A = this chain, B = another copy of it.
Amino acid sequence: MKSPRRRLVPLPLRDVEIDGPFWSPRVQTNREVTIPAVYEEYKRTGRIGAFRLRWKPGRPRQPHVFWDSDVAKWLEGLCSTLVTHPDAARRRLADRTARLIASAQQPDGYLNTHYTVVEPDARWGNLRDRHELYCAGHLMEAAVAHRQATGSMVLLDALCRYADLIDRAFGRGRGKQRGYPGHEEIELALVRLWRATGQRRYLNLAKYFIDERGREPHYFRLEAERRGEPSGPFMPGHFINRQAHRPVREQTEAVGHAVRAMYLYSGMADVAAETGDAALCAACRRLWRSATERKMYVTGGVGARHQGEAFGDDWELPNAGAYAETCAAIGLVFFAHRMLQADGDGRYADVMERALYNGALSGVSLDGRRFFYVNPLASDGSHHRREAFACSCCPPNVVRLLASLGAYVYSRDDRALWVHLYLGGTATATLAGQPVTLTVATRYPWDGDVRATVATEKPVTFSLMLRVPGWCRRHTLRVNGRPVAARVSKGYARIRRRWSDGDRVDLSLAMPVERVAAHPLVEADAGKVALQRGPVVYCLEGCDHPVDVRRIALADRSRLTARFDPRLLGGTVVIEGTGLVRPEPGGREALYEQDRPAVGRRVRIRAIPYCLWDNRRAGTMAVWLPRA
């Protein structure tokens, strides 16, 4: 389905293969370890069995309001792996799960395990808090993924019937409720359903949910009154936390629960792309700037506050106290990817890459078995990944992100093939009526050399748009060995030519170790630097150092070198140099004392990628280092 207002269309997962040293092993681990591990966890906890609808009051493992979404996200990921890596056993598991979910559908189309068995009379009674439409959205995404991976309509048909039921229940028409979800998700899912089915009513319903949000009389207030709840002092907080404090087109600041915000903004970008709604586009850009230019960690994490899992104020980005939920960084990838398709501007790809390589990937351990829910940028040694959470939104979100990673790498438009990320591997697209395969060979992000080779049966004219990342200050470009001076516009170098089979492009991105400074108003980072090389943000970890790494400062003139260590953490570039250990406060442990010259014991430092921390011995961690 062509979207009228998207400049770019992503190359679909089935046309992309990933083959590179950084991502290939992570994607493989996701497929072979994480997906089965999450499934076992979901069986063990009753999430899978819940769809049998056998729970009775008083029994254990009562279906929770968000369980359906957990299974749906996992299934979506499983289906994506079938697109890239077909496998009979995984296919059987996907089909079995799809049938099981569909079997839980009620005669009228309703499909929610919690409400069906636990609160059958409370259906649609508390959209504000109870995740009913959120679960529906995730089931729709899973259904589309299952259809695309297997061709089976069993789950998609069920979810279309459910979407039709929702469409009859909510909206502006007579007899409908003017509700919308307390946890956004269904908006982007309905656009996905519209793209998969061509049924415009799903797009219209998505648009309705977005348009209705935050209007007066406020649905969440009316709904609370119907429940007999006092609509007292907590209401404004509820509204802001759910981005429902005013109509979305009037919102200017990224606020409230960060995952909710990212899903809403992604859905807004989707609807804007499909409808060409300029006011909605403008709101998306404003909210993008608020979220990424004033409220984002250097890791791409968003949602600084534990309280409400929410965005803080501008520049409020505490490091040890960061929340930065894994799901929020993943949601930022979603939002960035959509803005990138709409505007074709590399600044969205820069943020997408930042989140992918850092604050989203940190959500899962190298062995694929443990997860961070919270992603702080400094630790006293007490923060560790865990195998399972009662609130299990992050593990299956990691699963579906890694399983569908190929869909984020390339786009096409009428005249060009766009390369957003340098993951290595191949992409196939039809350009000027001609099938073209681009093979990308690179060790990125460990170095900045990228070779792209064109394979085509006949010569074909198109533009190759190669992203020059925002972090890169110097690059060279050669075609078949000869330097070319391609203009870089909005972060992409355009090479327009008649391409022949075997044509070769060499992009070389200078990738020195960089000290990064934060905006002066970011209090937690003032007077500090972070280390970054290419898109990878580094940290110091306790097990590499003889002291609490939060005491290590870095002199401006201290030389830093990068070196690939094949034996460390599956093979990684480390940054090495010399730091200064801030002296221990004298005598008794003073909170404040006269400043002493910034000398201290010298110590060898070794920084590792932030996404790889907490994969060895437990200990302290720091991303931002005070300047010595």
Which residue of B has the minimal Cβ distance to A294?
B591
Find out whether the CB atom of B591 lies under 8 angstroms from the CB atom of A556: no
Contact (Cβ within 8 A) A298 B592: yes
Which of A168-176, A525-533, A565-573 has 4 or more CB atoms under 8 Å from chain B? A525-533
**Restricting to A138-161, which residues have a CB under 8 Å from any CB of B?**
none
A-B contact pairs, 25 of them (CB 8 A): A292-B591, A293-B588, A294-B591, A298-B592, A307-B307, A318-B318, A318-B523, A380-B521, A473-B594, A514-B595, A516-B592, A516-B595, A517-B596, A518-B592, A519-B585, A519-B591, A519-B592, A521-B550, A523-B524, A526-B528, A526-B624, A527-B527, A527-B627, A530-B592, A556-B597
Task: Determine whether A416 belongs to the interface, using a CB cutoff of 8 Å to chain B.
Answer: no
A526 touching B626 by the CB < 8 A rule?
yes
Cβ contacts under 8 Å, A627 to chain B:
527, 598, 627
Contacts of A380 in B (CB 8 A): 521
CB of B591 within 8 A of CB of A523, answer no
Pair A517/B592 contact, Cβ less than 8 Å:
yes
Q: How many copies are assembled?
A: 2
Q: Which of A517, A530, A596 has the most chain B CB atoms closer than 10 A to its own CB?
A: A517
A270-306 to B contact mask, C-beta < 8 Å, 1/0: 0000000000000000000000111010100000000
Q: How far is the CB of A373 from chain B (nearest CB, A)?
A: 18
Cβ-defined contact, B520 with A595, below 8 A: no
Query: A319: CB under 8 A from chain B?
Result: yes
Chain B residue with Cβ nearest A519? B591
Closest chain B residue, CB of each to CB of A529: B595
A590 in the interface (beta carbon within 8 A): yes
Chain B residues, CB < 8 A from A514: 594-595
A316 touches B321 (CB 8 A): yes
> Which residues from chain B contact A556 at a C-beta distance below 8 Å?
597-598
Interface flag for A255 (CB, 8 Å): no
**Could you say which residues of chain B place their CB within 8 Å of the CB of A590?**
293, 519
- Write the chain B residue with the least CB distance to A531: B595
| Interface residue? A515 (CB, 8 A) | yes
| 11 further contact pairs, Cβ within 8 A, besides A378-B523, A523-B524, A524-B524 | A293-B589, A318-B318, A380-B521, A516-B593, A516-B594, A519-B590, A519-B592, A526-B527, A526-B528, A527-B626, A530-B592
Complex Cα spacing A33 to B528, Å: 45
CB 8 Å contact bits of A550-591 with B (1 = contact, 0 = none): 110100100000000000000000000000001001001111
A320 CB within 8 Å of chain B: yes
Residues of chain B with a CB closer than 8 A to A597's CB: 556
- What residues of chain B lie closer than 8 Å to A520, measured between beta carbons? 550-551, 582, 626
Contact flags A477-520 to B (C-beta < 8 A → 1, else 0): 00000000000000000000000000000000000001111111
A313 in the interface (beta carbon within 8 A): yes
A336 to B598, CA, bound (A): 32
Task: State the Cβ distance, A179 to closest chain B Cβ, in Å.
Answer: 26
A444 to B615 alpha-carbon distance, docked (Å)? 56
Residue from A312, A514, A515, A594 whose CB has the most chain B CB atoms within 10 Å: A594
Considering the complex of A and B, which 7 residue pairs feature the smallest CB-CB distances, nearest first? A527-B527, A527-B626, A515-B595, A517-B595, A520-B582, A526-B626, A520-B551
A522 CB-CB contact with B under 8 Å: yes
Q: Which residues of chain A from 589 to 623 have a CB within 8 Å of any chain B CB?
A: 589-598
Q: For residue A354, which residue of chain B has the nearest CB?
A: B592
Residues of B contacting A315 in the complex (Cβ-Cβ under 8 angstroms):
320
Name A's B-contacting residues (CB within 8 A): 292-294, 296, 298, 307, 312-313, 315-316, 318-321, 378, 380, 473, 514-524, 526-530, 550-551, 553, 556, 582, 585, 588-598, 624, 626-627
| Cβ–Cβ contact A594 & B515, under 8 A | yes
| Chain B residues near A596 (CB-CB < 8 A) | 517
B residues in contact with A593, CB < 8 Å: 516-517
- With a cutoff of 8 Å between Cβ atoms, the chain B residues found around residue A588 in the complex are 293
Q: Is the CB of A522 within 8 A of B591?
A: yes
Residues of B within 8 A of A591 (CB): 292-294, 296, 518-519, 522
Assess whether A523 is in contact with B319, with CB atoms less than 8 Å apart: yes
Give the residues in chain B near A582, CB-CB below 8 Å.
520
Task: Name which of A296, A523, A528, A593 has the most chain B CB atoms within 10 A of its CB.
Answer: A523
Of A515, A520, A591, which is in contact with the most chain B CB atoms at under 10 Å from its CB? A591
Contacts of A626 in B (CB 8 A): 520, 526-527
Cα–Cα, bound, A626→B550 (Å): 17
CB of A417, distance to nearest CB on chain B (Å)? 27
The answer for the CA separation of A522 and B319 in the assembled complex, in Å, is 11
A373 to B588, CA, bound (A): 32
Give the complex CA separation of A598 and B528 in angstroms: 11
The CB with the most chain B CB atoms within 10 A, among A312, A380, A519, is that of A519
- CB-based nearest B residue for A315: B320
Q: Is B529 touching A528 in the complex (CB atoms < 8 A)?
A: no
In this complex, what residue of B is CB-closest to A585? Answer: B519
A407 to B298, CA, bound (A): 51
Expressed in whole angstroms, the minimum distance between the Cβ of A586 and any Cβ of chain B is: 12
Q: For residue A318, which residues in chain B have a CB less than 8 angstroms away from its CB?
A: 316, 318, 523-524
Would you give the shortest CB distance from A117 to chain B, in whole angstroms?
A: 23
Q: If the complex has contacts A293-B589, A293-B591, A591-B296, are A320 and B517 also in contact, measured as CB distance less than 8 A? A: no
Q: Which residues of B contact A530 (CB under 8 A)?
A: 592
Residue numbers in B under 8 Å from A312 (CB-CB):
321
Closest to A594 in B: B514
Chain B contacts for A594, CB-based, 8 A: 473, 514-517
B320/A523 in contact, CB under 8 A: yes
Contacts of A528 in B (CB 8 A): 526-527
Give min CB distance, A359 to chain B, whole Å.
Answer: 13
